[in-house]
A and B are shown apart, each in its own frame.
Chain A
Amino acid sequence: MNGKFRKISKKDLLIGLDRIINDGRKLAALTRKGEKVLYDYVTKSDEILMQYIPTVLSPKKFFLPQDEVILEYTTKGKVTAKIEAESMVLFGIKPCDLHGIKILDEAFAESNGDPNYLAKREKSLIIGLDCSRLCDEKAFCYKVNAQNITTGCDFMLHNTGIDFAVTVYTEKGAEQLDKYFQTEIKSENILDDFNQAKAAAFSKFGTFKQLKQLPEIFENNKNHSVWQTEGDKCLSCGSCILVCPTCYCFDVADEMALNLKKGERIRRWDACMLNSFAVVAGNDNFREEPKDRLKHRINRKFNYLMKKHGESVCVGCGRCVRACLVNISPKTIAETITGELSTGG
């Protein structure tokens, strides 16, 4: 923005969000529904929560819904692909989840691309909300540097206490910011204070000591005792996968209508920690024990997919740690394998 800095007052922010809703676009944001705090559609800006409490599910569900009809068919042979995508705005997405979206974007764009995911992404505008400090003691974004972003949203807001500094990341972001929001252009760097406060809040936390070498280290530790000890505790409940912003495995099933004349093909979230996921045709199972599935899951985060995406595919949001009733944590496992735990690092 020509070396200039933009800011928006809280009042103008809320006015802009209401404009989006009044324009007939869907707006999803952090909100309360009964006892739950979650990302959901809101009908007025005053339903939006700014103070972040980590949610059970990540915003991934807006692009890859829990259950999605992807095709309709008739027994006469008519097959219709179904792609549902509405223009929507996602507001208040945190850096860890923005990293998650970036990873999903890469995964679903691969080879021919996933038309359903890509259509939903294409029609969405993502407004980030930066974190000035760690959200809770279960989060470990700092271990993989996911508290800072370079991409993943259209524009990002940084709460300075009085108002919000804005960083624009995409053209679409710039255009939509101008369309809906009253901003002020400043010549001094209003982000400095925010950045300094953030750096101070995170200064006592460091990344994994060998962050870049994690794939290699995990590759060399397939027989580490941690797999057995942690695997023995595992309930194989699948919660850790369901809540993860970067897990994207799904199952596909054909559901006939009761009249047996037509049907739908549905894809739904699946989870590699479940025994049922590991069972293949003929009732064979290549990952029979919880430890085998845990090893696979954690290697997907810090090894196999990390090589592919060039960054840790665990973004340290801590959702799986909050969800796991037996305290299995990717952070603890990585620290055990790298030896950080025993050396007190």
Chain B
Amino acid sequence: MAKPKVAFFDFASCEGCQLSAIDLAPEQMLDLLNVVDIVEFREAISEKAAKYDIALIEGSITRDCDVPRLQDIRNRSKVLVAFGACAHTGGINALKNFQKKEDYQKAVYPTDPLKYETTVTRAISEVVQVDAFIPGCPINTMEFVRIVKNLVLGKRPDIPDYSVCVECKKNENICVYEKGMHCLGPVIRAGCDAKCPSNGGYCYGCRGTVTKPNLHAQKDVMQKYNLTFDQMTDQFKLFLQRNREVFKNAG
């Protein structure tokens, strides 16, 4: 069996997910290279290829000129994967969607605001068809490895579709609501091993929501624990930009 050709591409992002992907022990790296052929990867190699079996797209779409480039990659790829929170949900870049265009243009280029070509931030799936996604900010290295294995074996990508609370309880954590904090865990997709609530933080939703989140109930919980609607959207808009309207409707 020929090794599948894998390529990495980045759009608006910090490239941290790509770095996380190669954050492997040397022997794991060798195992990975034994099963796939990495043909394009700006972080580590400079070769180029014409067609890809698996294209991993990091970053969100924030400029019109990104669209044809993404469509071109799509046309040349068998499987296209939204790779990391920015690609999956719009990520941190989508924060600008809360501001007026003139304002963020001015913030970046105060003296020449129009120099900055920009549009509303979109997730990859809002522009082209996405076959699989690897969530998280940053992605979880072992989850990346698992999804690559799934794709190579022709299996359905094995991404959990249950809440962060499941992993949080498995870790026997005290729920952060009992400690006076608020948490999106009940409606956010697990797979991170509840990293944030397990280490003194709370879940702010970097992995996006589960398939059927009960946002209505989530909103009630946060209000019951004394968070106003404005505080709620403010504190949790980081990764839930796309769910903002849903939150509102739930009100």
- Taking beta carbons and an 8 Å cutoff, which residues of A are in contact with B? 35-36, 38, 55-57, 66-67, 232-239, 242-243, 253, 255-260, 269, 271, 274-277, 290, 323, 325-326
Contact = CB atoms under 8 A, between A and B. Distances in A.
Contact of B220 (A233, A243, A259, A260): A233
Contacts of B173: 36, 56
Nearest to B216: A232
Contact of B31 (A235, A255, A259): A259
B228 to A, nearest CB: 18
Contacts of A274: 161-163, 166
Contacts of B166: 237-239, 242, 269, 271, 274
B163 A258 contact: no
B45 interface: no
B172 A276 contact: no
Given A56-B169, A290-B214, A325 B149 contact: no
A269 to B, nearest CB: 7
B172 A323 contact: no
Interface string B202-238: 0000000011101001101100100000000000000
A235 B211 contact: no
B162 A276 contact: yes
A53 B13 CA distance: 46
A323 B217 contact: no
Interface stretch (B101-109, B123-131, B152-160): B152-160
Given A237-B163, A326-B217, A326-B221, A260 B35 contact: yes
A242 B163 CA distance: 12
B71 interface: no
Residue picked from B32, B34, B162, B218, most chain A C-beta under 10 Å: B162
Question: Is chain B's interface secondary structure helix, strand, loop, or mixed overall?
Answer: helix
Nearest to A257: B31
Nearest to A278: B212
B172 A259 contact: no
B172 A260 contact: no
A47 to B, nearest CB: 16
Contacts of A243: 169
Given A55-B172, A259-B31, A238 B158 contact: no
A269 B32 CA distance: 29
Nearest to A260: B35
A101 to B, nearest CB: 18
A288 B6 CA distance: 37
Contacts of A253: 158
Given A234-B217, A236-B212, A325-B221, A258 B149 contact: yes
A239 B214 contact: no
Contact of A235 (B161, B169, B172, B187): B187
- List the 3 closest pairs (A to B, CB-CB), nearest first: A242-B169, A237-B186, A258-B31
B65 to A, nearest CB: 37
A269 B166 CA distance: 9
Nearest to B222: A325
Given A56-B173, A269-B170, A235 B153 contact: no
B185 interface: yes
B34 A234 contact: no
B172 A258 contact: no
Interface in B136-162: 145-146, 149, 152-153, 158, 160-162
B28 A258 contact: yes
Contacts of B214: 234-236, 290
Contacts of B168: 239
B38 interface: no
Contacts of B160: 276
A41 to B, nearest CB: 14
